[in-house]
Chains A and B, each alone.
Chain A
Amino acid sequence: MNKRFHMQQFLHLTLAHLKEVTRQPAVLFWGIIFPILLSIGLGMAFTRSAETIHHIGFVRSDAFDSPSPAAPDIEALFTRSVHDPHHTLSIRDETSFTLTVHDDTLGDTAYLFETGSWDESILKLKQGRIHMIMEMTGAGVVYHFDPLNPDARLAWHSLSPLVDVDAPPAGKEVKTDATMPDADARVSPLEMPGTRYIDFLIPGLVSMTVMMSCMWGISYGMIDKRSKKLLRRMVATPMVKSHFLAALMLVRIFINIVESALLVFFAWLIFDVAVQGSTGALALVFIAGNIAFCGIAVFVSSRTANTEVGNGMINAVVMPMTLLSGVFFSYHNFPEWSIPVIGKLPLALLVDGIRAIFTEGAGLAETAPAAMLLFLTGAVFFAAGLKIFKWH
C-alpha cells in the first residue's frame, strides 16, 4: 500500500516532467542546441591567441642509441634558424625542445617538440596534446597528421620550410634513394580511426551536451515552477519532495541518453567514429557525469525564482567549464600550473573519461577513478542543494 503509493507518485511526477519537456521543442532547442552552437563559435574564437603554440611529437625511427635530442642534432636540423636572429632554438629538458619564430605583426609562433617513441606520440595525439608527429626516418622527415585538422595543417605549412632536410643526422650517413627524389619531406596523412580531429571532438561534444542539458533542463524544471508558485502548491500536499527531484533527474538522464546516442550514431554513420574501449566503462562514466551535473544543477538553482538570475548563474558555471575543459581543443595548451586544476573540473573529468574510452580503448580500470569522483561531486552538490532548497 505504502509502496504502491510511492510508486504511483513517482511515476506520475516522471510522466509530468517528461511530457513537459517533449511537448516543448523550443526548450530543447534553446536549452541544448543553441548553447552548443554558441560554444562552437566561442571555442573557435578562443583558439586564436597572440602567441601560437604548436605541440608536435618528435619521433626518431632512424635508429639511434637514445631518442633524446642532442643539441648538435637539432641544430643540424634547423641550420637556418640557428643563424636567424628572429628565431630562437632552445632545449627545454631531456625530452623536449622549442623553436620560436618571432614576428611583431603576426605574433610569435612557437613549436614545442616532445620526443618519444611512436606509440607514446600516437597516444598523445589521440588525447589532443599534440596534433602532429614529425618522424625522422633514414630517408628524411615525415609529417603525420590529420589533413582535416586546420591547426595541424598550419603547423606543417609553417614548419616544413624551416626544416633543413639535407642535413644528415649526426654520426650516420644517409643513403639517397634514387627512386624517391622528393622523399626528403613527405606528408603521411593520419586517417585511422581514433587519431582524427573528429574523434577528438565527438567525446567532447557528448560531454558538453550532457552538461548543458542537465544544467538548463533541471534548472528550467525548478525555476519555472518556483516562479509560478507551483512548487509552493505542490509541497502543500503530501508529495514526497525527493520524488520530485529524483523524477526530474531521471527524465533528464533519459533524454541525455537519447541525445548522446543520436550524436554518436551520426558520428559513426558519417565519420566512422567508433567506441574502441569498453562499453561498460562508457555507461559508467556517462551516468556518473549525468549524476554530477544533475547535482550541480540542483545546487545552482536551489533558491532563485528568477529565470534571469538563474540563467546568469548557469552561464557562470557552464561557460568557463566549456572553454577550459578540453571540449574543442586540448587543455594541455594552457599554462602548465593550471593543468592539474583544470583536469579535476567535472566537465574535464567527463571529457577525458569518455575520450579515453572512445579513442584510446580505455576500460573500467582506467576510468573508474574519474567516475567515482563524478559520482561524489554529484552527491555532494545534490545534498548541499537540497539543504538550502527553497520550495516557497
Chain B
Amino acid sequence: MKPVIQLKSVHKAFQSVRAVNGIDLTVFEGQFTAILGPNGAGKTTLVEMIEGIQRPDSGEIRILGLEWKGNEKTLHHAIGLSLQETRFIDRLTVWETLRLFASFYDLGKDRVSEILETVNLQGKTGAYTMNLSGGQRQRLALALALINRPKVLLLDEPTTGLDPNARRDIWSILLDLKHRSNTSLVLTTHYMEEAEQLCDNIMIIDKGLVLREGTMDQLLSEDAAEKIIAFSFETPHPPCGDFDKKCPFPVYWDEKNGKGTILLSNIEGQLPQFLDFLNTRGFRIKNMECRRKTLDDLFTALTGRRLDE
C-alpha cells in the first residue's frame, strides 16, 4: 500500500497556544482515518495544515509524496475538502455554485449533474444556497469536496450539528465512495459512532498531542483487562470535587445525569477497594454495572472529557 499522507513531527503554535505539538500521521491509499478530539484539541489546525491552508511551524507534510511548496497546483487538483464552517454565496443556486467550482477544475455540466446525484441534491438544483437546510448544506459542501474526484479527501466535522438521519445520509455517501474508489479520507469528528462506522484507523488527540492511535479493535483491546464500572447513588448526589481528591482511581462524574464511571485495570483487586472507599464516605449505591470499554469510555479516561461535551 502506498502512503498518501505523511506527517512527521508537525508543530503549530498561535501566540501561547500550542495547537499542534508534534504529530505524526500516515494515511495509506484507500484508507479512512478519523481524528477524534474534544474542542480545541487541534483537529482543525492539523487538517488545515494538510490542506495547505495553514503552514506548520516545523515538521514535514507530504501528500502523494509531494510537499506543498512548489506543488500547489498539482495538490489542489488532487485534494477535495470541506472546512469546518463554510457558507456559500447566498443568492447563488446549488447548480450555479457547483458549476462555479467545477470551472476551477476544468469540469463541465456533466460532472455537476453526476455529483448532484451522488449527494442526492437533484431536487434542490434551483434553490439559493441560503435557503438550504443544515443537512442539505453539508451535502453541498461534500459535493464541492468530491467534484474533482479527489485522491485525498479531507473533511472537517462533516456531520456536526446534524440530526441522526441527516448524519446517516452523509455516512452512506462516504461508505459508497469507500467501496467504489480508492480515495483516502481524513475526517475529524466528535462522534464516536461516526469514527466506528466509517474509519479503519482512529487517532485520538488532545492539546495538540496524539493520545492513542490504531484500529477500533486495537484501541479497545489494549489493556484488555480494563473494565468500566458505571454507578449511581441514592440521593443526595455527592459533589463531584470529592471524588477527584480522595478516590484511589480517576473517576468521571456526570453531574447532569448523576452518574459516574471508573476505569479499572484489575477488577478483582480494585473493585473491593472502591466499594470500601464509598462505604467509609457513607455513599449508598443505587445502581452499578460492569461493562466492556467503549471508545467513549477510552476517550473520557484519556482526556477527562466526554466526546460530546
A residues with a Cβ closer than 8 A to B are 4-5, 8-9, 11-13, 15-16, 19-20, 23-24, 225, 228-230, 232-234, 236-239, 392
Contacts of B245 in A (CB 8 A): none
Are the CB atoms of A237 and B89 closer together than 8 Å?
A: no
Contacting residue for A16 out of B73, B85, B89, B106, CB 8 A: B89
Task: A23 to B129: give the CA distance in the assembly, Å.
Answer: 13
B51–A230 CB distance below 8 A:
no
B 101-131 binary contact with A (CB < 8 Å = 1; else 0): 1011110000000000000000000000000
Contacts of A225 in B (CB 8 A): 89
When C-beta atoms are compared, the residue in chain B nearest to A11 turns out to be B103
Complex contact A236–B79 (CB within 8 A): yes
Q: What is the CA–CA distance of A233 and B81 in the complex, to the nearest angstrom?
A: 8
A238 and B76 in contact, given A20-B92, A232-B83 (Cβ under 8 angstroms)? yes
Determine whether B192 belongs to the interface, using a CB cutoff of 8 Å to chain A: no
Cβ-defined contact, A229 with B106, below 8 A: no
* B92 touching A19, Cβ below 8 Å: yes
Q: Tell yes or no: B194 within 8 A of A by CB.
A: no
Residue pair A23, B91 in contact (C-beta under 8 Å): yes
Q: Is the CB of B106 within 8 A of A20?
A: no
Do B88 and A16 touch across chains, with their CB atoms under 8 A apart? no
Given contacts A24-B91, A229-B86, contact A12 B81 (CB under 8 A): no
Q: Which residue in A15, A24, A230 is a CB contact (below 8 Å) of B88?
A: A230
Give chain B interface residues in 76-99, CB to chain A under 8 Å. 76-77, 79, 81, 83, 85-92, 96, 99
Interface string of B5-43 (1 = CB under 8 A from A): 000000000000000000000000000000000000000
B197-211 Cβ-contact flags toward A at 8 Å (1 or 0): 000000000000000
Q: Does B52 contact A (CB under 8 A)?
A: yes
CB distance from B20 to the nearest CB of A (A): 16
Q: Do the beta carbons of A233 and B92 come within 8 Å of each other?
A: no
Kindly provide the distance from the CB of B191 to the nearest chain A CB, expressed in whole angstroms. Answer: 22
B173, chain A: closest CB distance, angstroms: 19
Residue of A at shortest CB range from B148?
A237
Question: Is the beta-carbon distance between A238 and B73 smaller than 8 angstroms?
Answer: yes
Q: How far is the CA of A305 from the CA of B39 in the complex (A)?
A: 23
Instruction: Kindly list chain B residues whose C-beta atoms are within 8 Å of the C-beta of A232.
Output: 53, 83, 86
**B162 contacts A by Cβ under 8 Å:** no
List B contacts of A237 (CB < 8 A): 76, 101, 104-105, 148
Residue B220 at the A interface, CB < 8 A? no
What's the count of A-B pairs with C-beta under 8 Å?
A: 68
Interface range on chain B (Cβ under 8 Å from partner): 20 to 34
A229 partner, pick from B83, B90, B92, B105, beta carbons under 8 A: B83
The 5 residue pairs across chains A and B that have the minimum distance between CB atoms: A23-B91, A12-B103, A228-B87, A237-B104, A239-B104
Take A236-B79, A237-B76, A237-B101 as given contacts and tell me if A16 and B86 are in contact as well, using a CB distance cutoff of 8 Å: no
Interface of B is mostly: loop
Q: Assuming the A-B contacts A230-B86, A392-B53, are A238 and B77 also in contact, with contact meaning beta carbons closer than 8 angstroms in the complex? A: yes
Asked whether A236 lies within 8 Å of B92 as measured between CB atoms, the reply is no
**Contacts known (A8-B103, A9-B103); A236 close to B87, Cβ less than 8 A:** no
- Of the residues B73, B81, B86, contact of A228 by C-beta under 8 Å: B86
Q: How far is the CA of A211 from the CA of B89 in the complex (A)?
A: 24
Indicate whether B177 reaches chain A with its CB closer than 8 angstroms: no
> Contacts A236-B51, A392-B53; is A16 near B79 (CB within 8 Å)?
no
Please, could you name 21 A-B residue pairs with CB atoms under 8 Å apart, sorted by A?
Answer: A8-B103, A9-B104, A9-B106, A12-B103, A13-B100, A15-B96, A16-B92, A16-B100, A19-B91, A20-B90, A20-B91, A23-B91, A228-B87, A229-B83, A230-B88, A232-B83, A232-B86, A234-B104, A236-B52, A237-B101, A237-B148
Task: Please tell me if the beta carbons of A233 and B103 are within 8 angstroms of each other in the complex.
Answer: no
Residues in B with CB closer than 8 Å to A228 are 86-88
Question: Who on chain A is nearest to B101 by CB?
Answer: A237
Which one of B87, B99, B105 contacts A238 once the chains associate, using CB atoms below 8 Å?
Answer: B105
A15 contacts which chain B residues (CB < 8 A)? 96, 100
How many angstroms from the CA of A23 to the CA of B99 in the assembled complex?
Answer: 18
Known: A8-B103, A12-B103, A13-B100. 11 other contacts (CB 8 A): A5-B106, A9-B104, A16-B92, A228-B86, A229-B87, A233-B81, A233-B144, A236-B53, A237-B105, A238-B105, A392-B54
Q: Which of chain A's residues have a CB closer than 8 A to the CB of B106?
A: 4-5, 8-9
Minimum CB–CB distance from A233 to chain B (whole Å) comes to 5
* Residues on the B chain within 8 Å of A234, using CB: 104
Smallest CB gap from B144: residue in A = A233
Shortest Cβ gap from A67 to chain B (Å): 63
Q: For B88, give the chain A residue with the smallest CB separation.
A: A230
CB <8 Å contact, B77 and A233? no
Q: How far is the CA of A225 from the CA of B77 in the complex (A)?
A: 22
Which A residue sits closest to B102, measured CB to CB?
A12
* Chain A: minimal CB distance from B76 (Å): 4
Residues in B with CB closer than 8 Å to A229 are 83, 85-87
Residue of B nearest to A7 (CB): B103
Q: Are B103 and A230 in contact (CB under 8 A)?
A: no
Considering the complex, give the chain A residue whose CB is closest to the CB of B108: A8
Please, how many angstroms separate the alpha-carbon atoms of A130 and B115 in the complex? 67
Least CB distance, B102 to chain A, in whole angstroms: 8
Interchain CA distance A13-B101 in the complex, whole Å? 9
Chain B residues with Cβ under 8 A from A24's Cβ? 90-91
**Interchain nearest-CB distance for A349 vs B (Å):** 34
Chain A residues within an 8 Å CB radius of B148 = 237
Most buried by A among B51, B53, B79: B53
In the complex, A329→B91 CA distance in Å? 40
Do A230 and B89 form a contact, CB below 8 Å, given A9-B104, A12-B99, A12-B100? yes
Say yes or no: B83 contacts A238, CB within 8 Å: no
Q: Which residues of B contact A11 (CB under 8 A)?
A: 103
Residue on A nearest B84 in the bound complex, by CB:
A229
Q: Cβ of B51: which chain A residues have Cβ within 8 Å of it?
A: 236
Q: How far is the CB of A15 from chain B (nearest CB, A)?
A: 8
Min CB distance B36 to A, Å, is 23
Q: Which residues of chain B from 40 to 81 have any CB-CB distance to chain A below 8 Å in the complex?
A: 51-54, 73, 76-77, 79, 81
Q: How far is the CB of B147 from chain A (nearest CB, A)?
A: 9
CA distance A13 to B96 in the complex (A): 10
Q: Which residues of A contact B90 (CB under 8 A)?
A: 20, 24
- Residues B76 and A236 in contact, CB atoms below 8 Å apart: yes
